[in-house]
């Protein structure tokens, strides 16, 4: 493993711990807002370098409103929360992308692709990132959002680490060569096992409220969904004909390269928690 990769992790992990443990949900929201905006910028830049013309500025602006709408929904109800609701913001994202392309002055060649890329950047990066804001702000049924965030991060990182080490040492059979030639079936299995193992460790370590059944189930779900998220970003990069989404984090690439698994794991964890609590309270019949 590159020393730059290790050094970056040694710096970022303590910062993440301090943010989650001692920062408020509002501070966490601000960090996610900045991170999401940077991720959208990387997404749009990848495709601009490939000859497409997504509306970068407008896409990031609408993405900011989407993440903000998620946060407002955690602290407010009524008309304000409705106006800034994620549904309204995502619908606005499509309309804005369409209008910006319509009045851009460029010819119609590739117009639909440009609109689709602008809209995809909002949904793929901003919308999915915003689930982290929902999770951190969770305060129902005695569940602390901080525990959920730590659980999500540790299990996702364990999946990535297991896939990397096991794949590097024992990888022989290609997992999906058309999308990611270096990933192996052995690495995927290793990531899956690390995910389940870390989920059980987290339960024993700091999340005793989580049943063993739920810990194993979440380990299975996040171990699969996270690796699908990794493959999805590989597909996006291959489509844009780039190796990394950026070079912001030494040894890791860009923001999207670091959070690709998290983007799908965050909503998976959120909805599993929501549905399991609803079932436990007899709200699902």
Q: Are 188 and 227 in contact (CB under 8 A)?
A: yes
Structure token pair of residue 184: 């192996």
CA–CA separation, 267 and 262 (whole Å): 9
The confidence score (pLDDT) of residue 94 equals 83
Instruction: List per-residue pLDDT tens for the chain, 285 residues long.
Output: 456 667 767 778 899 899 999 999 999 999 999 999 999 999 999 999 888 889 999 899 989 989 998 998 888 765 655 666 777 777 877 888 888 888 888 888 888 898 999 999 999 999 999 999 999 998 877 788 999 999 999 999 999 999 999 999 998 999 999 898 889 999 999 999 999 999 999 999 998 888 999 999 999 999 999 999 999 999 999 888 888 887 777 666 789 988 999 999 999 999 999 888 767 665 544
Rounded to an integer, what distance in angstroms lies between the CA atom of residue 173 and that of residue 167?
9
CA distances from 177 to 14, 17, 181, 185, 190 (A): 35, 35, 4, 11, 18
87-124 core/surface letters (b: 16 or more CB in 10 A; e: else): eebbeebbebbbebbeeeeeeeeeeeebbbbbbbbbeb
Interatomic CA distance for residues 140 and 130, integer angstroms: 18
Nearest-angstrom CA–CA distance, 137 and 147: 11
pLDDT number for residue 84: 66
40, 62 contact by CB (below 8 A): no
Query: Domain extents for the chain?
Result: 23-137, 140-285
Q: What is the pLDDT of residue 185?
A: 95
DSSP state of 249: B
| pTM to 2 decimal places | 0.90
The predicted structure's pLDDT at residue 285: 46
Question: In angstroms, what CA-CA distances link 268 with 52, 135, 246?
Answer: 31, 11, 26
């Amino acid at each position: 493993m590159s020393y730059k990769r290790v050094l970056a992790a040694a710096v970022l992990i303590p910062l993440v711990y301090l943010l989650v443990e001692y920062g408020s949900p509002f501070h966490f929201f601000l960090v996610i807002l900045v991170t999401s905006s940077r991720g959208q910028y990387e997404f749009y830049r990848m495709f601009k370098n490939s000859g497409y013309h997504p509306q970068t500025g407008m896409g990031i602006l609408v993405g900011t409103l989407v993440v903000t709408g998620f946060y407002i929904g955690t602290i407010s109800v009524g008309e304000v929360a409705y106006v800034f609701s994620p549904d309204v913001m995502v619908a606005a994202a499509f309309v804005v992308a369409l209008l910006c392309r319509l009045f851009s002055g460029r010819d119609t060649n590739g117009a639909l692709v440009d609109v689709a890329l602008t809209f995809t950047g909002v949904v793929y990066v901003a919308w999915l990132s915003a689930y982290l804001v929902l999770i951190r702000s969770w305060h129902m049924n005695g569940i602390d959002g901080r525990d959920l965030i730590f659980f999500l991060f540790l299990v996702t990182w364990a999946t990535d680490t297991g896939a990397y080490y096991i794949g590097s040492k024992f990888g022989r059979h290609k997992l999906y060569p058309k999308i990611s030639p270096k990933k192996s079936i052995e690495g995927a299995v290793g990531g899956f096992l690390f995910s389940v193992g870390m989920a059980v460790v987290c339960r024993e370590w700091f999340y005793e409220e989580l049943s063993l059944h739920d810990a194993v189930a979440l380990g299975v779900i996040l171990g699969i969904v996270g690796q699908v998220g990794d493959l999805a970003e590989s597909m996006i990069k291959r489509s844009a004909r780039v190796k990394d989404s950026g070079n912001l984090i030494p040894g890791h690439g860009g923001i999207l390269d670091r959070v690709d698994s998290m983007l799908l794991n965050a909503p998976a964890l959120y909805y599993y928690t929501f549905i399991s609590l609803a079932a436990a309270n007899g709200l699902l019949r």
